[in-house]
């Protein structure tokens, strides 16, 4: 089976580390292993799960969603389906929070990230709630940050924080709008929540997919008030709109940020950036033009870790079955196979 292996030169990786469409990535580390998921809209099976030992070499190991539990997805429904998900690990289980912009927020869980994953469980039935991310706090409380899709509910630029039931993970209180980016951070979306040194952080992209930037919000209280700071933008680099992604810390304590870049007809490709902290603010990439804001790098020293086999990009159809990289434009159906046979 043909595989894509990231180019390594003199101990440096080259960006993008995933030069193919893995939109809206989120990633975590569990022990020595990294896992990444991404949106897949109505391509099914969907919300692919990737594994890596070094953040550079990735292998697809499964999918969070085999099919969507709504009749409309028996047919292609472009622009719908699974939008930006979040991946978290809590109490020995993996959780993927997945938005369907017309139906609501759902989660699925698994003991093994390669699967099987549970059936989708509804967190909140709502049109226009997107980009959810949960946070299990130190006192046992569970919160979920999310954004809004203006195309569905008429709301934009805002981040809401809801409280979840710790047992069912369903929304028990919608909660307040904790950030309104209308004036300073337009198209604020894709929130990813973290807690570090007593600070609550919400990483958000703003400015739009094609030419936006990375902003970080922080507060001492989970409900705010939140300070804001732009921590990475295109600047003088050739990497347009460094968009939403994930902060991960390696076993050696080094910090990294995975994000996507919209390459238009080539899809949303994934980059890996070095990250560090100054005065409890993250700094992503490399400052190159004197403005004090990080810019994406095109190459950097490889993180420590074992290089994996790489991503499957070809298929020999071992045992007569397609590989994990194959998807349909809707819920898979045996009738589609029969139609192909008779063509």
Residue 68, classified by CB atoms within 10 Å of its CB into exposed (0-12), middle (13-18) or buried (19+), is buried
Which tokens sit at 100? 């369907």
pLDDT at 338 over 80: no
Q: What is the pLDDT of residue 320?
A: 81
Q: Are 74 and 33 in contact (CB under 8 A)?
A: no
Of 1-5, 150-154, 183-187, least confident by mean pLDDT is 1-5
Alpha carbons 243 and 172: distance in angstroms, whole number: 30
pLDDT at 257 over 90: yes
CATH superfamily of 3-341: Glycosyl hydrolase domain; family 43 (2.115.10.20)
Residue 274, classified by CB atoms within 10 Å of its CB into exposed (0-12), middle (13-18) or buried (19+), is middle
Which tokens sit at 338? 């029969």
* pLDDT tens by residue, 9-32: 889 999 999 999 999 999 999 999
Alpha carbons 160 and 176: distance in angstroms, whole number: 6
Phi and psi at 216, nearest 5°, equal -125, 135
Whether 189 sits among the annotated catalytic residues: the reply is: yes
- Between the two ends of the chain, the Cα-to-Cα distance in Å is 27
What is the DSSP code (8-state) at residue 151? Answer: H
pLDDT range class, residue 337, cuts 50, 70, 90: low
Q: What is the pLDDT of residue 289?
A: 85
Q: Are 325 and 315 in contact (CB under 8 A)?
A: yes
Catalytic residue from among 26, 103, 189, 295: 189
What is the DSSP code (8-state) at residue 319? Answer: G
Helix (H) or strand (E) holding 339: helix 334-341
Q: What is the pLDDT of residue 210?
A: 94
Domain range list for the chain: 3-341
Q: What is the pLDDT of residue 115?
A: 98
pLDDT range class, residue 4, cuts 50, 70, 90: confident
Nearest CA to 160 out of 206, 201, 200, 191 is that of: 191
- The rounded mean pLDDT for the chain is 94
* pLDDT tens by residue, 55-71: 999 999 999 999 999 99
Catalytic residue from among 24, 54, 103, 295: 24
If phi over 0 gives left and psi between -120 and 50 gives alpha, with beta otherwise, what is residue 111? Answer: alpha
Whether 227 sits among the annotated catalytic residues: the reply is: no
Q: What is the pLDDT of residue 155?
A: 97
Contacts of residue 303, defined as CB under 8 A and 6 or more positions apart, other chains included, come to: 54, 55, 56, 250, 254, 256, 272
pLDDT at 53 over 70: yes
What is the DSSP code (8-state) at residue 310? Answer: -
* pLDDT tens by residue, 206-241: 999 999 999 999 999 999 999 999 999 999 999 999
**% pLDDT > 70, the chain:** 98
SS3 318: helix
Place of tokens 């894709």: 190
């Amino acid at each position: 089976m043909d595989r894509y292996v990231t180019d390594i030169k003199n101990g440096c990786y080259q960006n993008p580390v995933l030069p193919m469409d893995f939109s809206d990535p989120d990633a975590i580390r569990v022990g020595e292993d990294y896992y990444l998921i991404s949106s897949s809209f109505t391509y099914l099976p969907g919300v692919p799960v990737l594994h890596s030992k070094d953040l550079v070499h990735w292998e697809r190991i499964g999918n969070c969603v085999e099919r969507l539990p709504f009749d409309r997805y028996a047919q292609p429904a472009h622009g719908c389906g699974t939008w930006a998900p979040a991946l978290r690990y809590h109490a020995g289980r993996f959780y993927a929070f997945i938005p369907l912009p017309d139906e609501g927020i759902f989660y699925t869980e698994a003991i093994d990230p390669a699967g099987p994953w549970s059936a989708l469980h509804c967190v909140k039935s709502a049109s226009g709630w997107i980009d959810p991310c949960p946070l299990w706090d130190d006192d046992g409380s569970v919160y979920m940050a999310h954004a809004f899709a203006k195309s569905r509910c008429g709301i934009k630029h805002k981040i809401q924080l809801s409280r979840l039931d710790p047992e069912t993970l369903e929304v028990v209180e919608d909660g307040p709008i904790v950030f309104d980016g209308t004036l300073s951070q337009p198209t604020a979306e894709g929130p990813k929540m973290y807690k570090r040194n007593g600070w609550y952080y919400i990483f958000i992209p703003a400015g739009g997919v094609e030419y936006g930037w990375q902003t970080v919000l922080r507060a001492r209280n989970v409900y705010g008030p939140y300070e804001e700071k732009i921590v990475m933008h295109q600047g003088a680099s050739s990497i347009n709109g460094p968009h939403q992604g994930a902060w991960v810390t390696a076993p050696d304590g080094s910090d990294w940020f995975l994000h996507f870049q919209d390459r238009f007809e080539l899809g949303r490709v994934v980059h890996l950036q070095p990250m560090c902290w100054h005065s409890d603010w993250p700094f992503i990439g490399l400052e190159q033009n004197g403005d004090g804001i990080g810019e994406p790098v095109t190459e950097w020293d490889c993180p420590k870790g074992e290089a994996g086999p790489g991503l499957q990009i070809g298929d020999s159809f071992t045992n007569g079955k397609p590989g994990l990289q194959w998807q349909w434009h809707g819920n898979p159906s045996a009738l589609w196979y029969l139609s192909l046979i008779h063509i």
